[in-house]
Chain A
Amino acid sequence: MKKLLEISLGVVTSVGGFLEVGSVATAAQAGAAFRFQLIWAVVLGTFCIIFLVEMAGRFAAVSHHTIADGIRERFGFNAFLWPLLATLLVNFLVMAAEIGGVAIALELATGIGFQWWALPVAFLAWLFLWKGTFGFIEKGVAILGLVTLCFVVGAVMLKPDWEQVAAGAVPTLPDHDAANYWFMAVSILGASISPYLFMFYSSGAIEDEWDKSYLGANRAIAGLGMSFGGTIAIGVLIVAALVLAAHGIEQVDDYHQLPLMLIPIFGFWGFVLFVASLGIACFGAALEIGLQQAYLVAQGFGWTWGENLKPRDDPGFSTVYTILLVLAAIPIALGLDPLKLTIFSMALTAASLPLTVVPFLFLLNDERYVGEHRNGMIANAAVIFIIALGFVLAIVTIPLQIFGGT
């Protein structure tokens, strides 16, 4: 019974972690521009993150190491430096994007420009990390995050042609705007496969003192939680296709367009639901990224860490998230467009994945850490394939997006 409760809580938590500004923005753009044609990218990304999250939990439960500990110990400091720097940079960009997401939600709600909200949002997030405990943050984010289910409800209410939806799950070549199509596929992969998600998960498993008896629960949480998250992202995509694209809105390059996804379905409540979903999902993600950044640095250098400690007892740990929040608020406060920043950070995330995921795969195949609970061939092959795909697409399309024509 206790395990069951823990599993359902874990599932809900993963939903909260999965959906953030990146998945909303990329799914909305993809649905508007290509209708159901890019559903496969969400499916592939979800599939990959299920494997990675399951591995992260298994690694922590069996070896009692977090991923950062493991990578440093197994590959040495010099090799650890590369994934460390890559993740710090990506976390910084994604954090700025999430602060931007909350700021947009507040602008929509109040009419005061988003750049004015960047510092207050960063301060509020900091206050939560400063005073909150791990359980409080995890559960609070999780339960409030359920509001994002409105996208799934909306998608079902629009009665999509489910056959077409299913057809979208199979990759096909675009018949127009090819470069844009592949760039969107990359951003969706980057938004679904967030390194902070599985690294955060492994730290959480250590904070909650998991051991081998949690392996079953871990599998259930990873599979169900991430599938739920992916379902919501597909919900966003379907809604964007059936509302935005159907009205002839094929380019979502302005965040003002986003609430229009839900207004035609739910009327004024659609507006409220959108603002609440965006604000809560992004705020939750900002908390998780802040924690993850601090975990990563503290674990990498062997400092005391833990969200349940008082800041006095882990000064290094609390300094890291404080600095991150201050820095990440700056671009938004200066008025950098949050939507553009989001899409760019998601593509960059996809490009950075080999640096974090490849060392991680080595650990999961090392008997000294995971003993008999090593990875199977399928898990290895699937993850390598998807990461390679994301990387190659990112390397080809990011320069195009920056320099190419439009």
Chain B
Amino acid sequence: MAATLQARIVNAVTAVGLRPDRPCLLLIIFVLTACSPSDQVEQQSKTAASATQTASLVLESWIAGGAPSEYTSRTLQSAGKALADAGAQIQSAKSPEPSGQAGLTMAVGRLSAAVIRAATAVQNGNRSEVEHAQQDLRAAAADLSTSYAKYFAPKS
């Protein structure tokens, strides 16, 4: 969608006889698209994915003995909070596609819960609980990418 919009602007600008400088043009496009609801959903989904990967990397490191517990638990709490924020933003976006949006919101909610659970488990040094949370996290992450793919799939 961004690509077609870009093409349209390039055409429009060249039509008035200006030769657009590409970086500038990209910036203009960014401003124009930044506030659209589907972009907000996309942006927040990406943030959620990044936070999820952070959580899973720090968990792996903790299990391998590389990351100290205190640090791991703090990082997980922080990632959990980022996920909760992203979830709230996805939920409140005025998306043209309420069903896909609900799927995303749910997936991010599950992720957030799993990460917070892992944080508590790490704090208590409960290894089996951590591994449980890790499985939850993996399942929810898979959920997120399916919902994401569905949401942004080309519509007929």
Contacts and interface: CB of A to CB of B under 8 A. Distances in A.
Q: Do chains A and B touch in the complex (CB under 8 A)?
A: yes
Contacts of B49: 248, 250
Interface residues of A, number: 30
A397 B27 contact: yes
A248 B24 CA distance: 29
Nearest to B30: A179
B50 A263 contact: no
Contacts of A326: none
Interface residues of B, number: 38
A404 B30 contact: yes
Contact of B71 (A179, A248, A256, A397): A256
A251 B50 contact: yes
Given A250-B46, A251-B46, A260 B26 contact: no
Interface of B: 22-24, 26-27, 29-31, 33-35, 39-40, 43, 46-47, 49-54, 56-58, 61, 64-68, 70-71, 74-75, 78-79, 82
- Main SS of the interface on chain B? helix
B61 A254 contact: no
Contacts, number: 99
A256 B54 CA distance: 9
B112 to A, nearest CB: 14
A264 interface: yes
A178 interface: yes
A401 to B, nearest CB: 11
A88 interface: no
Interface in A156-182: 173-174, 178-179, 182
Contact of A182 (B27, B53, B71): B27
A406 B27 contact: no
A216 interface: no
Interface string A183-224: 000000000000000000000000000000000000000000
Given A254-B82, A256-B71, A247 B53 contact: yes
A76 interface: no
